[in-house]
């Protein structure tokens, strides 16, 4: 069977890391007998340069016609002068909405070989941690009404957050189902002491919790959650939260693992298609220098195999290969830390992972 995968390489290091992931996917295809067909489409700054818009209709149509989507990264200082609606980053919101991707899974796992790279004290990471952050992706303040108006002190800008019960229910149910497949612990993060949207969020989550009595459920204010992540990350298993809070907390959690270059993500909806991407940005400062860490994108490919195609053994093969390469001491510049070893380039790290896959 042939599987059609849309490639949105984007900007900066995006093409480099997507090429690495494609190499790994082709290796997995050869090893397990799968036929993956890859088709590139423009997005972000690359689309602006070529067509004048960050998200062409051809890209949307191509993704909708594919079995799954892989995204690199978008944006960079080259396009910083553009207005908000014209910036490369707006393409991310547009493609998520077009594909109906309302659930964002962001695992934050500390690899044993990288415990020394974590900024936390050794005793806090001795046992490691494996956190799944479930972020609502198509609602909240990022998609609310926005603009400029005259206020008390003159010109002011505003952004509006709104959540419906339906939006909260579907992300909440996804989080409870994920918790049921892990250690049955779920923390819901909000700001219910201040925000009306958070009060509705908490009320809805409490109702859902009654349907999942096996899950140990707790509420946390977002400021406390941010503190608890650095105080004791091992206490968490699954965290569910809103779009903006999830954006911030998942980046915080990524740094606890040693590098944002290690963190994969999956964006899912009501179909198996999904979009898979590293959570880091386009890193224009190292673009074209073969210095990027491809591991987050390669692990995103593993998530795609597992969630889009149901290929658990193939996904595990990639994850085991990454574990083995890190255990053998191979590092890109972002995770080398105090090691005396020479840093691997992007292509060298990819080559080692390919060797470990066999």
Coil, helix or strand at residue 276: strand
Residue 182 and residue 237: Cα distance in Å, rounded?
8
The Cα 149–Cα 218 span in angstroms is 39
- Residue 10, pLDDT above cutoff 80: yes
Whether 272 shows a pLDDT value over 90: the answer reads no
DSSP strand pairing (275-278 vs 264-268): antiparallel
Which 3 state secondary structure label does DSSP give 161? coil
Residue 105 has a pLDDT of 96
Q: Per mean pLDDT, which range of 96-110, 270-284, 338-352 is the poorest?
A: 338-352
**pLDDT, tens only, 29-77:** 999 999 999 999 999 999 999 999 999 999 999 999 999 999 999 999 9
Pair of tokens at residue 141? 């303040």
User: Could you read off the pLDDT of 113-163 as tens digits, one per residue?
Assistant: 888 888 899 888 888 899 999 999 999 999 999 999 999 999 999 999 999
pLDDT confidence of residue 56 = 97
Q: In which band, very low, low, confident or very high, does the pLDDT at 93 lie, cut at 50, 70 and 90?
A: confident
Q: What value does the mean pLDDT take over residues 71-86?
A: 90
* SS3 annotation, 95-156: HHHHCCCCEEEEEEECCHHHHHHCCCCHHHHCCCCEEEEEEECCCHHHCCCEEEEEECCEEE
Q: Per-residue pLDDT for 82 more than 90?
A: no
Read off the pLDDT of each residue in 279-307 and give the average, rounded to a whole number: 95
C-alpha–C-alpha distance, residues 86 and 88, integer Å:
7
Q: Which two tokens stand for residue 135?
A: 């972020």
| Least confident span in 4-13, 33-42, 77-86, 309-318 | 77-86
Residues marked as catalytic? 142, 191, 223, 247, 251
pLDDT of 211 above 90:
yes
DSSP string, 280-334: S---GGGTTTT----HHHHHHHHHHHHHTT--HHHHHHHHHHHHHHHHTT--BGG
Helical packing angle, 346-357 and 295-307, nearest 10° = 40
Rounded to whole angstroms, how far apart are CA atoms 86 and 8? 18
Length of the chain: 358
Q: What pLDDT, in 10s, does the model give residues 213-266?
A: 999 999 999 999 999 999 999 999 999 999 999 999 998 998 898 888 888 999
* pLDDT classification of 301: cutoffs 50, 70, 90: very high
Whether the pLDDT of residue 342 is over 80: the answer is no
Give the residue, 258 or 207, on which the prediction is more confident.
207
Q: Which tokens sit at 304?
A: 């795609």
How many percent of the chain have pLDDT more than 70? 99
Q: Give the contacts of 241 (CB within 8 A, at least 6 positions apart).
A: 133, 134, 135, 136, 188, 189, 190, 222, 225, 249
DSSP state of 74: -
Per-residue pLDDT at 65: 97
pTM reported for the whole predicted model: 0.88
Nearest CA among 285, 330, 279 for reference residue 303:
279
Which long-range contacts does 326-333 make (Cβ < 8 Å, 24+ apart)?
326/111, 326/113, 326/114, 327/112, 327/113, 328/352, 329/113, 332/261, 332/291, 332/292, 332/293, 332/294, 332/295, 333/291, 333/293
Stretch among 71-80, 154-163, 199-208, 337-346 having the lowest mean pLDDT: 337-346
**Residue 339 pLDDT class (50, 70, 90 cuts):** low
What DSSP letter does each residue of 261-274 carry, written as one string? GG-EEEEE-SSS--
- In this prediction, residue 98 carries a pLDDT of 94
pLDDT of residue 341: 67
- Per the DSSP assignment, residues forming a β-bridge with 241 are 135, 189
pLDDT of residue 186: 98
């Amino acid at each position: 069977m042939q599987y059609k995968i849309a490639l949105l390489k984007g900007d900066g290091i995006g093409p480099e890391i997507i090429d690495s992931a494609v190499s790994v996917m082709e290796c997995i295809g050869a090893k397990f007998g799968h036929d993956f067909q890859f088709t590139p489409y423009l997005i972000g700054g690359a689309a602006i340069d070529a067509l004048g818009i960050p998200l062409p209709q051809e890209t949307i149509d191509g993704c909708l016609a594919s079995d799954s989507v892989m995204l690199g990264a978008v944006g960079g200082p080259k396009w910083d002068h553009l207005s908000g609606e014209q910036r490369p980053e707006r393409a991310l919101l547009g493609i998520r909405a077009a594909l109906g991707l309302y659930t964002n899974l962001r695992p934050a796992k500390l690899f044993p070989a990288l415990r020394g790279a974590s900024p936390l004290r050794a005793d806090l990471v001795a046992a490691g941690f494996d956190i799944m952050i479930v972020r609502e992706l198509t609602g909240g303040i990022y998609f609310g009404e926005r603009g400029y108006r005259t206020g008390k002190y003159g010109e002011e800008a505003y952004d509006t957050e709104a959540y419906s019960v339906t939006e909260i229910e579907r992300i909440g149910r996804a989080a409870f189902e994920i918790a049921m497949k892990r250690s049955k612990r779920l923390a819901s993060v909000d700001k219910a002491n201040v925000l009306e949207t958070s009060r509705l969020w908490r009320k809805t989550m409490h109702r859902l919790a009654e349907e999942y009595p096996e899950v140990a459920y707790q509420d946390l204010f977002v400021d406390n959650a941010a503190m608890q992540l650095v105080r004791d990350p091992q206490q968490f298993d699954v965290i569910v939260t809103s779009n903006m809070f999830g954006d911030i907390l998942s980046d915080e959690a990524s740094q606890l693992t040693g590098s944002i270059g290690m963190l994969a993500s999956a964006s899912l909806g009501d179909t198996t298609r999904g979009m898979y991407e590293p959570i880091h940005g386009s890193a224009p400062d190292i673009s074209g220098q073969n210095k990027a860490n491809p591991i987050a994108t390669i692990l995103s490919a593993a998530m795609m195999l597992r969630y889009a195609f149901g290929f658990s053994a193939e996904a595990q093969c990639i994850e085991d290969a990454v574990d083995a390469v890190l255990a053998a001491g191979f590092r890109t510049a972002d995770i080398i830390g105090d090691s005396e070893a020479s840093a691997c380039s992007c292509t060298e790290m990819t080559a080692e992972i390919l060797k470990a896959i066999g």
